Structure 1
Amino acid sequence: MARIAVIGAGLGAMAAAARLAVAGHRVTVFERTSTYGGAVGRFERDGFAFDTGPGLLHLPAVYRDLFVKTGKEPLESRVELTQVDPASRHVFADGVSVDLPNASRAGTVAALDTALGGGAGERWGEFLVRAREAWDRTRRPLLEEPQPADVARLGREPYPAPKAGFLRRPTTTLAQVGARELRDPRLVALLDAYAWSYGFDPSTAPAAAAVLPYMEQTFGSWYVSGGVRALADAVYERCVARRVEFALGAEVTGVRTKDGRAAGIELADGTVVDADHVVAGARVPALDDLGGRPRHGSPGTGRVVLCLALRGGREPDAVHRTVVHAAAGRPTVTVLRPGDPALVPDDAHEAATVTATVSTAPGQDWAEYAERMLGAAESAIPGLRERLLHHEVRTPDDTLRETGSAEVPGPALGGADGRHLPAGNVSPLPGLYFAGGWAHPGGGLAHAGMSGALVSGLIVEGADFRGSQ
């Protein structure tokens, strides 16, 4: 039985902790804040509750596997999952809107043809065929296997160019995919919105980012009753049930070494904790030179989230998620209206969130930006200004305070010479591993859960571990 120290209590770190505990190891999680969950935060006021991180779950199979492997019981015995249908409503700059169904390619193509005309659905469908090819090429190396020491092959662009005419020229960015293959500005805006929702600028994101809309439109979007924070609660409770120990308010500042390998951790108060293995599930600056440094440049992107407490219940024809595309100086925003009674004081009120992706460069006027976000959200919530009781503005500064980084990491992407690959799971220092959103396969609920599975496999099975089957 090995002693394992896990740094951070985010979803990826806890997923690794639970799996390692089931394998018979003695696991302690050290979290610098007073609670678990990492970016899966919660804000509550006057009977209203809001998710301040992710609001929807994609690829729930990741957490279903976690619960089966750590307790032989289904995830649904701990949380209630509901498919969101329609998956999203899109309101474009010209006022045209379209509702896209959940996990139905044929339905999506038909909806786009009806709303946009001009063969828009057919062009989107052809794009998804190519996106699937990129997905098939990258799914296993980018999601199911530990990141290799040599990432050169992952840096090659997996997205195929169309096999006709001038479009056969190499496509290197997602923006080029939109301009060359989709053409209709509304389809381009649709594609761009998927990139922005994961924190990627389409002008710099590799064409391989086409896998993001493919993934959502193929595998669907799910809501966790009570909010995604309920999933964090369930994973934490699973860890406790498997005798994982938690030390909250314990900031890790470094890793101790002995005989050329990780031998424990150092805490901010000077305490030293011995360990046979260390799993860094959160960014620790002191570990950047040991393989924990992200590959992309800085600054990156973060999130501004408005938590809206509203008078009046949700209207019957409201949808769970509306994307309002940029127009007239207003940013693209995602409006989530769960209609969940667990999030409001009574049925005469509604809780909603509005989210936008922003640069984390200093000097932003967040109050002014939040006002523009509210203006955009009026296209999704009728009578918003008159219904507003109060609102909370959550900025990258809050993300920095709560998670240690103002940025929100995106999932790993192929292409671009590997610039969008996160830290590998195995450090150059033996005994030190990386999990969570800053490590392979990157950020997002599903990807973080996958990282926990990969790291636990590497520790339990050793260097011969080749990933999930």
Structure 2
Amino acid sequence: MARIAVIGAGAGAMAAAARLAVAGHRVTVYERSGTYGGSLGRHARDGFVFDTGPSLLHLPAVYRDLFVKTGKEPLERCVTLRQVDPASRHHFADGTAVSLPNASRAGVVQALDRALGTGAGTRWAAFLDRAGTAWDRSRRPLLEEPLDEDRGGLDRDPYPALRRRRLLRPARQATTLAEIGGWELADPRLAALLDGYALSYGLDPRRAPAAAALLPYMEQTFGSWYVQGGMRELAGAMYERCLLRRVTFVFDAEVVRVAEKDGRASGVELADGTYAEADHVVLGARPGPGLMPGQAWGGDGDPAARRAPLPGRFVVLLSLRGARDAGAAHRTVVHCADGPAEQAAVFGGRIADRPTVTVLRPDDPSTRPDEAHEAVTLTATVAPHGPVDWTDPALRERFTGTLIDRAAEAVPGLRERILRTETRTPAETAAETGAEGGSVPAPALAGAGGAFLHPGNRTSLPGLYLAGGWSHPGGGPAHAGMSGALVAGLVVEGDGFRGSR
């Protein structure tokens, strides 16, 4: 039985902790804040309850596997899952709108044809077919296997882009998501739909490789799921599973250094000077300066340190008077009129004038005090704290008003119903998680020479492993859960571990 120190209590860290405890190891989790869950946060006041991080679960099979492997009670006995239908509603700048059914390729084709004109659905379906080919080519090395030094061919883009004929010039293929939208989808609304998927994950469509087509493919193929009571309920179920497996949690315990002895990780040092020995250390948080020994990264150092901070999220929590509309969609995306301008602002450290806004209206009685009220969350991807000073009260108030005005395009009379408004910005995210600028990690992507991959789960320092959104295979609840499984496999089975089959 080995002593294992886990840094952080986010989804990836807890997934690793539960699996390692089941394997017979003595696991202690050190969390800098006063609670578990990481980005799976919750805000509650006067009977209104809001998710402050991810609000929907994709690829629930990741957590079904976790709960099956760590105890007798399956996931569905610990939380209530239901598919969201429609999966999303989209409002475009020209006034058209479309509701996309959940996990129904034929239904999506019909909806797009009705809303955008005959042929729109067929073009989208053909795009998803190509995205499916990319999924088949890259799924296992990208999501289910530890990242090897040779990267398993993930430097190359698996998306089979169409060749674009050009008069008297060589044919070209789309290499970015924005080029797929412009060249293959041939409709600005379909392009906005595609760009919106990338932006919601904090990716710039102008630079994200064509392999980012996997993001809409995964959602529209495997569906979108809501956890009754909010995603915090999933975090709570994971925490309870860890306790059941005798994982120890130490809260308000910030780890400032991973110790090294005789060429391997030997424990962790806390901010109060406490030192805890360990045979293995799992880092489930964004590495801060000085946290990891220099040799842990190998010769190139931390790859993330050489990049500009990723975008964050601006979140507005609205407590509303008045009942939820019976036909309201759980998730509505209000797209902007000028996508490239918004992307230039977000990824250039500025504020977009008319951002793309996601409106979340869960049909869940536990999120509101009674049926005469409604809890609504507005979210926009924004530049990180630093380039933009998100602590400026006037700026926060002005941008909050911008999001409310944009959301009102899809929810008439929204402003008149507001009882209370509360705002969370990348500044709060930075303070709570320690992530530079309040950045939110994106999923790993193949292609672009490996520029969109994350550090592997094993490090160059024996005994030190990486789990969670800042490591392979990247951000998002499903990806974080996968990283925990990969780390547990590496610790239990050694470097020969090749992923579950």
TM-score range (shorter-chain normalised) is over 0.9
The answer (yes or no) to whether the contact 1:287–1:293 under 8 Å persists in 2 is no
Aligned twin of 1:397: 427
1:147, 1:355 → 2: CA distance? 32
Aligned twin of 1:362: 387
Aligned twin of 1:190: 193
The answer (yes or no) to whether the contact 1:152–1:417 under 8 Å persists in 2 is no
The answer (yes or no) to whether the contact 2:21–2:247 under 8 Å persists in 1 is yes
Number of aligned positions between the proteins: 469
Please say if 1:318 is aligned against 2:328.
yes
CA RMSD in angstroms, aligned pairs only: 1.4
Please say if 1:448 is aligned against 2:480.
yes
- TM normalised by structure 2 equals 0.91
Letter in 2 for 1:372: T
1:324, 1:168 → 2: CA distance? 35
Give the gaps of 5 or more residues in structure 1: none
Aligned twin of 1:239: 242
Equivalent position SS for 1:122? helix
Aligned twin of 2:466: 434
Aligned twin of 2:55: 55
Equivalent position SS for 1:428? coil
Query: What whole-Å deviation, never above 9, does each CA across 1:367-409 have from its counterpart, x for those lacking one?
Result: 3222111111102222111100011111001111111111000
Please state how far the C-alpha of 1:366 moved relative to its aligned partner. 3.0
Equivalent position SS for 1:463? coil
The residue correspondences of 1:140-219 to structure 2 (distance < 5 A) are 140-151=140-151, 153-162=153-162, 165-166=165-166, 169-219=172-222
Bigger shift: 356-365 or 315-324?
A: 356-365
Please state how far the C-alpha of 1:339 moved relative to its aligned partner. 2.1
Letter in 1 for 2:401: E
The residue correspondences of 1:285-304 to structure 2 (distance < 5 A) are 285=288, 286-287=290-291, 289=294, 290-291=296-297, 293-295=302-304, 297-304=307-314
2:158, 2:234 → 1: CA distance? 33
Letter in 2 for 1:173: T
Please state how far the C-alpha of 1:81 moved relative to its aligned partner. 0.3
Paired residue for 1:376, among 400, 403, 406? 406
2:12, 2:137 → 1: CA distance? 24
The residue correspondences of 1:88-127 to structure 2 (distance < 5 A) are 88-127=88-127
Letter in 2 for 1:253: V
Please state how far the C-alpha of 1:284 moved relative to its aligned partner. 2.6
1:404, 1:45 → 2: CA distance? 25
Query: What whole-Å deviation, never above 9, does each CA across 1:161-199 have from its counterpart, x for those lacking one?
Result: 225745952322111111100121000000000001111
The answer (yes or no) to whether the contact 2:164–2:173 under 8 Å persists in 1 is no
Segments ≥4 residues shifted beyond 6 Å: none
Aligned twin of 2:449: 417
Query: What whole-Å deviation, never above 9, does each CA across 1:118-169 have from its counterpart, x for those lacking one?
Result: 4111111111111111111111001000011222721111111225745952
- TM normalised by structure 1 equals 0.97
Bigger shift: 361-370 or 436-445?
A: 361-370
The residue correspondences of 1:6-155 to structure 2 (distance < 5 A) are 6-151=6-151, 153-155=153-155
1:226, 1:448 → 2: CA distance? 21
Aligned twin of 1:330: 354
1:401, 1:142 → 2: CA distance? 31
Please state how far the C-alpha of 1:293 moved relative to its aligned partner. 3.1
2:372, 2:326 → 1: CA distance? 13
Equivalent position SS for 1:256? strand
Distance 1:140 1:86, change over 3 A: same
Please state how far the C-alpha of 1:44 moved relative to its aligned partner. 1.3
Please state how far the C-alpha of 1:363 moved relative to its aligned partner. 2.5
Equivalent position SS for 1:68? helix
Equivalent position SS for 2:36? coil
Equivalent position SS for 2:154? helix
Equivalent position SS for 1:305? strand
Please state how far the C-alpha of 1:298 moved relative to its aligned partner. 1.1
Query: What whole-Å deviation, never above 9, does each CA across 1:252-309 have from its counterpart, x for those lacking one?
Result: 0111111100000111111110000000000132246423835471121110111110
The answer (yes or no) to whether the contact 2:163–2:172 under 8 Å persists in 1 is no
Please state how far the C-alpha of 1:313 moved relative to its aligned partner. 1.0
Letter in 1 for 2:432: E
The residue correspondences of 1:223-234 to structure 2 (distance < 5 A) are 223-234=226-237
Aligned twin of 2:418: 388
Percent identity over paired residues: 66
2:132, 2:291 → 1: CA distance? 36
Bigger shift: 239-248 or 289-298?
A: 289-298
Letter in 2 for 1:363: V
The answer (yes or no) to whether the contact 2:334–2:357 under 8 Å persists in 1 is yes
